Amino acid sequence: MRITLPLQFLLFLGLQIALSMGLVFYLNSLATHNYQSLSRATAGFVDASKSIETLRQSFARSSNDIESLSTQFGNGQRIDVRDQALALQQIAAAIRNDAGLNGLRDSLGGDATALAKQIDQQAQTLISAAARAANAAPNEVALLQSELRQQRSQIMVQGFGNLITAANRSLETTLGMLRGTTESTGHQYLTLLVIFILLQFALMVTAFWLVNHQLQQLADVTDRLIDGEATAALPQQKRADQIGRLARAVQHFRTTLITLSDSREQLKAILKKHDEETMQRRRAEKQLQLSASVFDNVQEAVLLTDISGHVSRANTAAQTLLKQNDKQLASRPLLETLLGVDTAVIAPLWQQVLEQGHWLGEVTFTPERSAPVIAQVSIKLMGEAREGKGHVIFVLSDHTELRAREQEMKFLAEQDPVTGLFNRHYFVAEGNRRLEANPRQALGIVLIGLDSFRAVNDALGHRDGDRVLYEVGQRLLAVVGQGATLARVGGDEFAFYVTTPGGEALDATQTIAEAALSAIRQTLNLNSYHISLKVSGGISTYPADGDTVEDLLKTNEIALSTAKTQGGNQLYTHGGALQNQARRRFMLQQALEKALGNRELRLAYQPQVSLANGHISGFEVLMRWRHAGEWITPSEFIPLAEETDLIVRYTEWALSEAAKRVREWQRQTEETFHLSVNLPPRLLLVDKIDQRLAAIAKHSGLPLSTITLEITESSFGNDPALMAAQLKQLAMQGFSIAIDDFGTGYSSLAYLSQLPISKIKIDKKFVDLITDDKESCKLVSSILAMAKSLELDIVVEGVERPEQLVQLKRFDTRMDIQGFVFDPPQNEDFWEGLFMNGDSHVYEVP
């Protein structure tokens, strides 16, 4: 049995009402229960409070009576207190039995019982005090009276107070229970409300789902009908409610739709056939219009010929290119016009076009009263030539301007526009082609550059400067000949090849180069100027100086640069050696950056020996570099390091390692050794270098006063004031400052007064001749005397022979000697072995 839609809504409404009434009844019962509990608790508290107050008043009256009687106590007087004692006992019995205190006794019986005992005890005390007072002294009577008052006060304050407090606690306990019950009831209210809302929501969702499900079935069938499924099954047609009526209406719509669909399909078939015919006709018309538009407006020349090659149609571009109208073009075969030959000559070519169906080529023709035209011709056969119904399409693309630009670009790519000679690109390419074609033939290259040609440009201007370059090119061309490859390879640089039999390349090349230089040096007359040019040159030969033209030119450029550096106006022939040096320098510079990381750097220590007793006073630390199995000399790699910041890093490393090593030797020998370190100029430009070096020395444990920083005059460069300031900062840190190679410059004496110098090192060149040359002896003696007067320490470098020691000792013994006469620079292992036993080595001094 199917429930109708209105009945479904009534059932849903009745269920909601039942749930709501059940919730209201339940909440009302909970509220009534809480109200009754609160009323009972309040009534019990009121009854207890009234009973306590009545008993307290009764006890107060009895206490007043007792107070009056106690004042009558005296010696020989017996007071009857039985009524008052009975009254107290009655009050105690009331406390035990009063109905208003039932609830209080049940919950807090201890306080009520204690109060009743206290009152009974006071009754006994009253009877005892009355009996004792008859025979007691006055002071004893006073004590009895005081005891009675204390008991009364204790009962009133403590006994009844505790009872009232117990009543209050009982009320608070009851109220707390009521509060807990109320909170629990509140939670129940909230829980019931949430459950009620969820039930209501579930009912609404259920009702919505039922109605929506029934309507969705009809909607799905309707959608399927709209999508063309006319045979879709339609449910719920037999229902008597509104949904059934709606289902039957949809069924009627479906029947009508089927009928309309059949008619629509027939109409669509008719319209489709008509549209296809219309679209085909329009596409054909558009293609004809597009073909005609393209044919007339395309930039290329397009011509249509028959099988015999006569033009039947030509576009405007073709008439313009060929300078002929339609009638002139149709007068003879088109190939005769393009190739300029008669029919007999072009017959084989035309036959090839008809057989193969296409031909592509570039032709040059000269239209009437016009310049020659270079055109690319594309020929395409349309149809079958054998049936005589085909056509041939000619497409001509004008390449005249393109070929002219190619020639211009080729000229610019190969020739110099100023001199008309070849340029560097062509010179290099042509030279490499020669080497590849004949690799065994000797080849020389001469590179010539004008000295100070910029002055000519500045004085005469670039226009006249270009005329000078052109004239130089012509003079060189006269020397080397028209068949030689002469090129301008730079701004004022020219180069040419010299090809000679093997073994004579250098001599022959040098002869021609000198002749070329002589020709250029001849006075050149330009306008009103008579110009005498100075010119330098460089020579390189293949294969001695390089395997490619680029390598040979590079060698020449080094030679030319060297020639100009040496004053110019000369021919330099040793460029190969300079290039090898440059290559080695570059290789070492690259390797030097990784030398420290690769553990290639070593330190050597040369002793500084006291001339007075032969004891070692200190060491100068020197860097050594072993790379790829070769010891690189300091004179070669130190300048490379000074060109970059590597010298800063390596000097700091040397100071750190050497300071640690010397500190260890001091510990082993208990001697005070000084350490000398060369200070490069770049290090003096580093910000806060004094603090950095001081930190390194302190970290090693070596006192700063035992470290000497050696500088040379070249360290001061163009700004001696800045360097002097840095040296003063270093001296303030505690370092000693020494001038190395003293006397080799012109400003050494001036530096002694301006800088914080404490030591000078006399250069080796002054020592070499002191045993043979009196002037050298006088000079060394003067330097020693000056140092003595200025209180400067002295180190003499480069002492190699014992007789030099003898001569120096005649001058003075207060100096240190550094040289091979004692020991060359030795590595740390040598000195470690020497100091192993803790003894300091002493050298023999003659």
Rounded-to-integer distance, Cα 79 and Cα 359, Å? 167
Q: What confidence tier does 227 reach under pLDDT thresholds 50, 70, 90? A: low
User: Of 226 and 671, which is predicted with more confidence?
Assistant: 671
- Give the range among 136-150, 519-533, 675-689 with minimum mean pLDDT: 136-150
DSSP strand pairing (391-398 vs 301-305): antiparallel
What does the pLDDT read at residue 575?
45
End-to-end CA distance of the chain: give it in Å, rounded: 142
Average pLDDT over residues 361-377: 81
pLDDT of residue 112: 73
Q: What is the pLDDT of residues 250-277, one digit of tens each?
A: 767 667 767 777 677 777 888 787 778 7
148's tokens: 């009675």
pLDDT at 239 over 90: no
Please check the confidence at residue 16 and state whether its pLDDT lies above 80. no
Question: Does residue 262 or residue 209 have the better pLDDT?
Answer: 209
Provide the percentage of residues in the chain whose pLDDT is more than 90: 12
Pick the more confident residue, 804 or 568: 804
> Distance between CA atoms of 83 and 814, rounded to whole angstroms?
135
Other beta carbons within 10 Å of 388: 10
| Average pLDDT of the chain, as a whole number | 79
Average pLDDT over residues 692-719: 84
Under the banding of pLDDT at 50, 70 and 90, the label for residue 843 is very high
Average pLDDT over residues 784-808: 90
Q: 796 or 721, which is more confident?
A: 796
Residue 379 has pLDDT above 80, yes or no: yes
Mean pLDDT of 438-447: 82
The 10s digit of each residue's pLDDT in 394-441 is: 888 887 787 778 776 766 667 888 888 888 888 888 888 888 888 887
Instruction: Decide if pLDDT at 824 tops 90.
Output: yes
The length of the chain in residues reads 846
pLDDT in tens, 531-552: 888 888 888 878 777 788 888 8
**Phi, psi torsion values for 584, nearest 5 degrees:** -65, -40
What pLDDT is recorded for position 825? Answer: 94
Q: Which pLDDT belongs to residue 235?
A: 62
pLDDT for res 665 = 93
Q: Which residue has the higher pLDDT, 477 or 39?
A: 477
Quick check: 105 and 112 in contact, CB under 8 A?
yes
Q: Whole-model pTM above 0.85?
A: no
Higher-confidence residue of 111 and 641: namely 641
pLDDT at 288: 60
- Rounded to an integer, what distance in angstroms lies between the CA atom of residue 92 and that of residue 110? 14
3-class state of residue 494 by DSSP: strand
Distance (Å, whole) CA 105 – CA 110: 8
* Residue 58: per-residue pLDDT: 78
Q: Is 50 exceeded by the pLDDT of residue 57?
A: yes
What stretches of 713-794 show up as alpha helix (H) in DSSP? 720-733, 748-754, 764-767, 774-789
The SS3 call for residue 742 is strand
More confident residue, 638 or 104: 638
Three-state SS sequence of 434-478: HHHHCCCCEEEEEEEEECCHHHHHHHHCHHHHHHHHHHHHHHHHH
Residue 221 has pLDDT above 80, yes or no: no
Per-residue pLDDT band for 620 (boundaries 50, 70, 90) equals very high
Neighbours of 268 (CB within 10 A): 10
Among 2-16, 342-356, 383-397, 769-783, name the one with the lowest average pLDDT: 2-16
Task: State how far the Cα of 146 lies from the Cα of 192, in Å rounded to an integer.
Answer: 67
The predicted model gives 324-348 an average pLDDT of 77
The predicted pLDDT at position 224 comes to 66
Residue 777 predicted with pLDDT over 60: yes
Residue pLDDT, tens place only, 273-304: 777 877 877 776 676 666 556 666 677 888 88
